[in-house]
């Protein structure tokens, strides 16, 4: 069990949905993970769980190519004054990688249409 999963093992309904999101992400069910993280956020999670759920939802959005949604989640994490610094740092790193991937995808699309 990962450290965040241990931290949120007693998080009530928010913790249950968070753990469901982790399990779905581990099996590659990105849409299911997104839905579970959205439910996590509806149940008023702790600040750390909120930041982690937004971060993980951003990961899932990036996996299915929904770059704008992933960017929004990563930006929310980096701007959250209560987000743990390690989660903020990871969100900043992923945001940079995401923007590079998006730029490459846009260039490929433009080349194909030329």
Q: Which of 101, 48, 114 is nearest to 70 (CA)?
A: 101
DSSP state, residue 107: H
pLDDT-derived band of residue 107, with 50, 70 and 90 as boundaries?
Answer: confident
pLDDT at 78 (0 to 100): 96
* Gap between the Cα atoms of 21 and 60, Å rounded: 10
pLDDT at 2 (0 to 100): 47
For the entire predicted model, the pTM comes to 0.84
Tokens for 69, please give them: 């949604």
Q: Which domains does the chain have, with CATH numbers?
A: 3-113 (1.25.40.10)
Residue with tokens 């931290």: 7
Q: pLDDT of 43-99, one tens digit each?
A: 888 888 999 999 999 999 999 999 999 999 999 999 999 999 999 999 999 999 998
């Amino acid at each position: 069990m990962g450290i965040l999963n241990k931290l949120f093992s007693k998080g009530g309904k928010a913790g249950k949905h968070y753990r469901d999101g982790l399990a779905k992400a581990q099996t590659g069910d990105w849409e299911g993970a997104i839905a579970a993280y959205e439910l996590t956020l509806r149940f008023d999670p702790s600040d750390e769980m909120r930041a982690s759920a937004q971060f993980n939802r951003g990961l899932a959005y990036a996996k299915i190519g929904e770059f704008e949604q992933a960017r929004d989640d990563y930006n929310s994490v980096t701007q959250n004054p209560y987000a743990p610094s390690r989660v903020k740092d990871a969100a900043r790193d992923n945001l940079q990688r995401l923007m590079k991937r998006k730029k490459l995808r846009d260039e490929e699309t433009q080349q194909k249409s030329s």
